[in-house]
Amino acid sequence: MAGVSVRDVRKAYGTTAVIHGVNVEIADGEFVVLVGPSGCGKSTLLRMIAGLEEISGGEISIGNRVVNHLPPKERDVAMVFQNYALYPHMTVRDNMAFSLTLRKADKSEIEKRVKRAAEILNLEKYLDRYPKQLSGGQRQRVAMGRAIVRDPQVFLFDEPLSNLDAKLRVAMRTEIKALHQRLKTTTVYVTHDQIEAMTMADRIVVMHDGIVEQIGTPLELYDSPANLFVAGFIGSPAMNFLKAKANGGAVELPGGMKVQAPKGAGSDLKVGIRPEHLTLATGGEGLPATVKVIEPTGAETLVLFEIDGQDTTAVFSERHAFRPGEQIKLTPKPGMFHVFDAASGRRL
Ligand SMILES: Nc1ncnc2c1ncn2[C@@H]1O[C@H](COP(=O)(O)OP(=O)(O)OP(=O)(O)O)[C@@H](O)[C@H]1O
Ligand SMILES: [Mg+2]
């Protein structure tokens, strides 16, 4: 096994720069998720690690070996793509064995590795079937099986679950996580889905327009987002942002409610409050809110409010008898708010 080190890596297609100097240190055995909106450069970065895409600057090492100029097959990585591209005319067994057969590996060794991968993935019963005789989830497992038989230093996944329906996606993400806990192979996993990132990752790399916005564990990103972008991207439903003014040592929220100002607060601020951290105010002070839409899910209720002309979402686990148009007051749970500089977007 091996760690992966990405140092000041850049990519340009012609004169268009798409990756602007990315640094990520991935430890041996770590499960790192690259997440960010469409077009931010996740696949490009992953393909550069795989060697499928040349880098325009910087350095990539896998296990202390600089791989900048090594072709993919010499990097000892295995990649699983979104469209798993199984060979339709080959059985599951032959699909899984394919890369080893190409390399003219020993027959008994191939058999042993395919058997082990099939056991790990619960595919033993399907080894003689063809891809068209499998469900989406089973095909996905065959694609992972192809990667596992190679016993690589690093697994690279590019949105491997996005072709599956919602329920299967949730089941497969648990399977992949359990698989990683068992094999402990260093993994870089690309997704645009922040829930997938949160639930699977040891550490998350949040990307945006070809740069890294923040790297941290899922709960570090949730608890202490470095800027407005990460704050708005991580968490579902998304964090609410209210316009606020610094006034002496206090931050003044809509409706005159005051919270303590962090050090270095300029005058124009944004206060971020997660939907799950808003509660009904009991005293006189609070954010004046008008009820707009109520969405019960059973376990909890999402309520859309208007505060200071802005849509604001709250999630309640207790039940309230709200009615559309009703005026109430909300308050963040003690300490559960984030103050950002409105101009730079940085957390204060
Ligand atoms: N061959 C290419 N030539 C020119 N531009 C490219 C090429 N491949 C990708 N790009 C651009 O590079 C940027 C990053 O693309 P990339 O595929 O890495 O995004 P992504 O984060 O994986 O997005 P998605 O979530 O949609 O898969 C995009 O703006 C894309 O248009
Ligand atoms: Mg992509």
Q: What is the pLDDT of residues 45-71, one digit of tens each?
A: 999 999 999 999 999 999 989 999 999
Pairing of strands 278-280, 327-332: antiparallel
pLDDT of residue 242: 94
Q: Which listed CATH number (2.40.50.140, 1.20.210.10, 2.60.40.4070, 3.30.70.580) goes with 237-341?
A: 2.40.50.140
Ligand 2 centroid, distance to 39 Cα (angstroms): 7
pLDDT of residue 85: 81
CA proximity to 269, closest of 249, 250, 245, 253:
245
Cα dihedral 327, 274, 259, 268 sign: negative
Q: Which of 9-13, 103-107, 240-244, 344-348 has the lowest mean pLDDT?
A: 103-107
- Over 80: is that where the pLDDT of 266 sits? no
Ligand 1 centroid, distance to 154 Cα (angstroms): 23
Is 40 a pocket residue for ligand 1 (Cβ < 6 Å)? Answer: yes
Mean pLDDT score, 268-282:
94
Is 18 a pocket residue for ligand 1 (Cβ < 6 Å)? Answer: yes
CATH 2.40.50.140 region(s) of the chain?
Answer: 237-341
- Over 80: is that where the pLDDT of 284 sits? no
CB 49 within 8 A of CB 6: yes
- Over 90: is that where the pLDDT of 340 sits? yes
Q: Is the pTM of this model over 0.85?
A: yes
CA proximity to 207, closest of 217, 196, 192, 195:
192
**What residues contact residue 105 under an 8 Å CB cut-off, 6+ apart?**
none
CATH 3.40.50.300 region(s) of the chain?
Answer: 4-232
pLDDT of residue 137: 83
pLDDT of residue 141: 87
Ligand 1 centroid, distance to 39 Cα (angstroms): 5
Strands (E) in the chain, as ranges, are 4-13, 16-26, 31-35, 57-62, 65-66, 77-80, 154-158, 186-191, 203-208, 211-216, 240-247, 250-252, 258-260, 268-273, 278-280, 287-296, 301-307, 310-316, 327-332, 338-341
Q: Considering only CA atoms, which residue is closest to atom 28 of ligand 1?
A: 39
- Over 80: is that where the pLDDT of 264 sits? no
Is 52 a pocket residue for ligand 1 (Cβ < 6 Å)? Answer: no
Q: Considering only CA atoms, which residue is closest to atom 14 of ligand 1?
A: 41
Tell me the pLDDT band of 256, cut-offs 50, 70 and 90.
Answer: confident
pLDDT of residue 218: 98
Is 191 a pocket residue for ligand 1 (Cβ < 6 Å)? Answer: no
CB 130 within 8 A of CB 88: yes
Ligand 1 centroid, distance to 110 Cα (angstroms): 36
Is 113 a pocket residue for ligand 1 (Cβ < 6 Å)? Answer: no
**What φ, ψ does residue 255 adopt, rounded to 5°?**
85, 5
Q: How far apart are CA 12 and CA 7, in angstroms?
A: 16
Tell me the pLDDT band of 110, cut-offs 50, 70 and 90.
Answer: very high
The ligand that comes nearest to the alpha carbon of residue 35 is 1
Between 213 and 84, the more confident residue is 213
pLDDT of residue 140: 86
Ligand 2 centroid, distance to 80 Cα (angstroms): 12
Mean pLDDT score, 280-291:
89
Is 43 a pocket residue for ligand 1 (Cβ < 6 Å)? Answer: yes
Q: How far apart are CA 82 and CA 96, in angstroms?
A: 17
Tell me the pLDDT band of 162, cut-offs 50, 70 and 90.
Answer: confident
pLDDT of residue 87: 92
Ligand 2 centroid, distance to 38 Cα (angstroms): 7
Ligand 2 centroid, distance to 136 Cα (angstroms): 20
Place of tokens 């068209």: 132
Mean pLDDT score, 236-243:
95
Mean pLDDT score, 227-243:
96
Q: How far apart are CA 332 and CA 24, in angstroms?
A: 35
First vs last C-alpha separation in the chain = 39
Between 264 and 194, the more confident residue is 194
- Over 90: is that where the pLDDT of 82 sits? no
Is 162 a pocket residue for ligand 1 (Cβ < 6 Å)? Answer: no
Q: Which of 77-86, 150-159, 260-269 has the lowest mean pLDDT?
A: 260-269
| Superfamily for domain range 4-232 | P-loop containing nucleotide triphosphate hydrolases (3.40.50.300)
- Over 80: is that where the pLDDT of 114 sits? yes
pLDDT of residue 291: 97
Most confidently predicted of 28-37, 136-145, 171-180: 28-37
Q: Considering only CA atoms, which residue is closest to atom 29 of ligand 1?
A: 39
Q: Considering only CA atoms, which residue is closest to atom 8 of ligand 1?
A: 44
Secondary structure (3-state) at 309: coil
Peptide bond preceding 152: is omega within 30 degrees of 0, i.e. cis? Answer: no
pLDDT of residue 247: 81
**What residues contact residue 89 under an 8 Å CB cut-off, 6+ apart?**
130
CA proximity to 58, closest of 76, 71, 45, 40:
45
Ligand 1 centroid, distance to 222 Cα (angstroms): 27
- Over 90: is that where the pLDDT of 312 sits? yes
Average pLDDT, the chain: 92
- Over 80: is that where the pLDDT of 1 sits? no
Give the Cβ contact number of residue 321 at 10 Å.
6
- Over 90: is that where the pLDDT of 84 sits? no
Please report, as a single letter, which amino acid is at residue 5.
S
What ranges in 128-248 are assigned the alpha helix state H?
Answer: 136-149, 166-183, 194-200, 218-223, 228-233
Is 246 a pocket residue for ligand 1 (Cβ < 6 Å)? Answer: no
The ligand that comes nearest to the alpha carbon of residue 18 is 1
pLDDT of residue 76: 93
CB 347 within 8 A of CB 288: no
- Over 80: is that where the pLDDT of 132 sits? yes
Q: Considering only CA atoms, which residue is closest to atom 12 of ligand 1?
A: 18
Is 192 a pocket residue for ligand 1 (Cβ < 6 Å)? Answer: yes
